[in-house]
Structure 1
């Protein structure tokens, strides 16, 4: 039987980082403009790659001075950013589990914010046989190493796996290793893609 590997952010869990700064700015537009000015996306990717929050703050302050000060509250406010789930996606994962399909997780996620995910969404620890968290292993999708870590840790063969991710680059990274990839665009399309593969 095929094993199914889920990305988490924007596949099962909505991530809205601007919410972490809602008490700082008077509007979402203002928060997003500030995030763009300090290069939040690039900063966060390095966090997902294993950089500590303390070192991330230091780097942001060196690059942007006092304008980076709002990042200091990000870790504490992070739970606000992941409260919502992606409509229909959890139901698909539960249906696969009910069919005894082996489920795994592979996520670009910072080590220090990961405990919040397990606290807010405890079902993560029950759905999946294993979850590889980029910040904990020091490798990011779509780098080949992070897919191989999941394979090696669980004795999986690429040809026996299906990988689901909202980022096309991550899907292509999986395909390059021989893993069947599905680009996630919504629960309905995912259900159809899995049905074509005889799993749903």
Structure 2
């Protein structure tokens, strides 16, 4: 087996992103804060923005549904950058090691097209990627097979004859890995940078 390209998910692998980082500042009580994130500004609601819905529309819809929580809902995207606490050092160190070894690197992330520019402007390690497929820009989202096909097309723009089995995808969400494997890719469910690096080496990636 030969791995010719590595495709990274971002959140939970390279970035420490969580609404908790912001809402700990806004809702002191743990149970009350968790209730708000489970029932009002939910992950499912945020995912709609990752799939292409505008932040303004999403905010308006939710405020219409829950006017009593207007201020807390408004804060979600007005202060979104406070959810992005920073890079995950071990994951970024692995990325840098792969880059130094001249391994072709690509990104495939579920991320809003409106918030991703902040990450691109503030995290120079994103320049290590030859291409980044952002779900909100395509209005497709993992684990939809179509976004993996789009990613593979971008890989082939740099490596025209590459086969799916020569691509390995790293993601912290197991279902996203399952979708890639179903399309013939190699997959690594990311639990820790050490385990992911060991698995890459098992697959023959030298770095």
Q: Same fold (TM over 0.5)?
A: yes
The answer to whether structure 1 residue 196 and structure 2 residue 202 are counterparts is: yes
Q: Which runs of 5+ in 2 are unaligned?
A: 157-161
* Distance (Å, rounded) in 2 between the aligned partners of 1:172 and 1:197: 17
Task: State the secondary structure of the residue aligned to 1:9.
Answer: coil
TM-score (norm 1): 0.92
Structure number with the bigger relative contact order (C-alpha 8 A, sep ≥ 6) is 2
Q: Deviations 1:131-150 (Å, cap 9, x if unpaired)?
A: 00101110000000111111
More moved, 115-124 vs 163-172: 115-124
Paired residues of 1:166 and 1:185 also in contact (CA < 8 A) = yes
CA distance in 2: counterparts of 1:167 and 1:149, whole angstroms: 19
- Give the 3-state SS of the residue equivalent to 1:20 in structure 2: helix
Q: Deviations over 1:36-57 (max 9, x none)?
A: 1215111101010000011101
Tell me the distance in 1 between the aligned counterparts of 2:97 and 2:167: 17
CA contact (8 A) 1:107 1:133 kept: yes
Any conservation in 2 of the 1:83–1:120 contact (CA below 8 Å)? no
SS in 1 for 2:68: helix
Matched, 1:112 2:114: yes
Q: 2:34 aligns with which of 29, 32, 35?
A: 32
Q: What residue in structure 2 maps to residue 83 of structure 1?
A: 85
RMSD (Å), alpha carbons: 1.6
Q: Which moved more, 1:73-82 or 1:95-104?
A: 73-82
Tell me how far 1:154 sits from its aligned partner: 3.3
The residue that corresponds to 2:188 in the other structure is 182
- Give unpaired runs (5+ residues) of structure 1: none
Q: For 1:188, what is the secondary structure of its paired residue? A: helix
